[in-house]
Amino acid sequence: MPASTFSALRHRNFRLFYTGQSLSVLGLWMHGIAQGWLVLELTNSAFYVGVVNALTKVPIMLLSFYAGVVADRMEKRKLIIICQAAAMALAFALAWLAFEGTVQVWHVMVLTTLVGMSFAFEIPARQAFIIDLVGKEDLTNAVALNSSSFNAARIVGPALAGILITSFGVAICFLINAASFGFSLLALAMLRLAPKERRTTDESAWMEMKDGLSFVRKDKTIFPLITLISTLALFAFPFEVLLPVFARDVMGQGAREYGWLVSAAGVGALVGALGLATVAARVSRGRLVLTSAVVFGASIVALSFTRSVWVAVVVLVAAGFSMILTTSNTNTLLQTIAPDNYRGRVMSTYTWAFLGVGPIGSLLSGWIAEHFGVPAALAVGGCMVVLVTGVLMAKSEQLMATR
């Protein structure tokens, strides 16, 4: 691959951060697979599996805006360390309960909610922290490389978790996740950061939240980007939730073919992230965000009409590819545009749009699928993405011109 693909790694701080985060996210994927399996074993209920999954995201939906204020007030590395240490302790607690054989579903629900609360504060701080490691010049590359590690873990983690669960049970996956946080915490401790002046303010957290939201609403580039990500979270991201039902009930396939579909989206996302890392400095990011969003929406519509596994694999590679181009570029643009004193609040708004809106989108797509079928839910979602993106293309000249 061209050297430009990994240009952000020339920064020592980012190399450490990237290595620690890559190992940690692999543990998170393994934890997620094991947790879903554990809940299914404890309850034999798909409903409880969905509830536990939602409990991770509900705190993000409720706390993200306040978390942005904290990220702007507090030293970001310190906040990330506190949150990741808390998540590490919670993973150890679940591992201990599972090894002891005393774990109950309410334990999982409580611990998952607490993890979601730590993520609500950690994610916007971590997103806003990357620019401190690489500067604006290599920011797009750094975000793309982070996305590539996430999607590589998305391919490897579930497969590895499946092998370990079969051989040793779910507890080992929780233990590995807890241990993986140790690598991330060590990397964070080893960073050499230039001292930054701490921002002080007499305003209350409530006033700062209102000020941050007002800034986002009035900015002619940031607000369209948040609108776009919210639209994707409501109408497009739930396609992954519908995939098992689509594979089994629409295409008449089994678990093996479902696995191929999930992997196809992951492969497309990984290729998209590496491609973006390679050409980051040579593309008009605003135009690329909107164009790739249209392709993403169109791919979801195409999937709704697909009944062949291999055609679905191709379509999902395209969906994963265009999805990562949209989200990674949006992330980069927001961090680049936002002033230092607003970056935490801007990235918390992005986190809310990207993850906090997710439970609403899943409920909406599930309701449409229940009443009108999975293909209808996919088609409606994809069409809404194309429609909203088309309006943004026509109305947001400033975003279209942003490099």
Range list of H helices, 219-283 = 222-231, 239-245, 255-279
From the number of C-beta atoms within 10 Å of its C-beta (0-12, 13-18, 19+), residue 315 rates as buried
Amino acid at the residue 69: V
Q: Write out the H or E segment, with its range, that includes residue 353.
A: none
The pLDDT, as a whole number, for residue 150 is 77
Q: How far apart are CA 11 and CA 133, in angstroms?
A: 7
Q: What is the CA radius of gyration of the chain?
A: 20
Higher pLDDT, 362 or 168: 168
For the cut 80, the answer to whether the pLDDT of residue 205 exceeds it is no
Nearest 5°: phi and psi at 204? -70, 160
Over residues 225-254, the mean pLDDT reads 82
What single DSSP character describes residue 137?
A: T
Q: Say what the pTM is.
A: 0.76
Mean pLDDT of 67-92: 88
Rounded to whole angstroms, the Cα distance separating 279 from 4 reads 8
Q: Is 325 helix (H, G, I), strand (E, B) or coil?
A: helix
**Residue 81: predicted pLDDT:** 93
Express each pLDDT in 319-346 by its tens digit: 988 988 888 888 888 877 877 777 778 8
Which three-class secondary structure state does DSSP give residue 354? helix
Give tens-digit pLDDT for 23-60.
Answer: 898 898 888 878 878 887 888 766 677 677 778 888 88
Residue with tokens 């490389």: 145
pLDDT digits (tens, 9 = 90+) for 375-396: 898 999 999 999 999 888 887 7
Q: Element (H or E) spanning 88, and its range?
A: helix 76-100
252: Cβ–Cβ under 8 A, 6 or more apart, which residues? none
pLDDT at 305: 92
State the pLDDT confidence band at 318, using cuts at 50, 70 and 90. Answer: very high
CA–CA distance, 280 with 106 (Å, rounded to integer): 45
Residues in the chain: 403
Query: Which residue type, as a one-letter code, is found at position 192?
Result: R
Structure tokens at 242: 């519908």
What residue type is assigned to position 106 of the chain?
Answer: W
Q: What percent of the chain has pLDDT over 90?
A: 21
- Average pLDDT of the chain is 82
By the 8 A CB rule, do 98 and 191 touch?
no
pLDDT of residue 147: 74
Beta carbons within 10 angstroms of residue 51's beta carbon: 17
Rounded-to-integer distance, Cα 319 and Cα 197, Å: 42
pLDDT tops 90 at residue 176: yes
What average pLDDT does the segment 67-71 reach?
79
In the chain, the amino acid numbered 291 is T
- 91/87 Cα distance (integer angstroms): 6
- CA distance linking residue 377 with residue 382, whole number of Å: 9
- In this structure, of 266-275, 276-285, 330-339, the range with the lowest mean pLDDT score is 276-285
Whole-number Cα distances in Å, 128 to 28, 37, 207: 21, 33, 21
Dist. CA 280–CA 136, nearest whole Å = 12
Residue 5 pLDDT > 70: no
pLDDT computed for residue 70 by the predictor: 81
**Per-residue pLDDT at 277 exceeds 80:** no
Average pLDDT (221-240) is 87
Q: Residues 273-282: what's their mean pLDDT?
A: 63
pLDDT value for 76? 84
Q: Which two tokens stand for residue 396?
A: 């947001």
Q: How many C-beta atoms surround the C-beta of residue 71 within 10 A?
A: 28
* pLDDT for the residue 211: 79
- Confidence at 165, pLDDT banded by 50, 70, 90: confident
Q: Rounded to an integer, what distance in angstroms lies between the CA atom of residue 286 and that of residue 283?
A: 9
Residue type, 91: A
Q: Per-residue pLDDT averaged across 89-111, rounded?
A: 93
pLDDT higher than threshold 70 for residue 170: yes
Residues with Cβ within 8 Å of residue 54, at least 6 apart in sequence: 359, 362
Instruction: List the structure tokens of 362.
Output: 């899943």
Q: Is 94 helix (H, G, I), strand (E, B) or coil?
A: helix
Q: Is 104 a residue whose pLDDT tops 60? A: yes
3-188+205-400: in CATH 3.40.50.300 = no
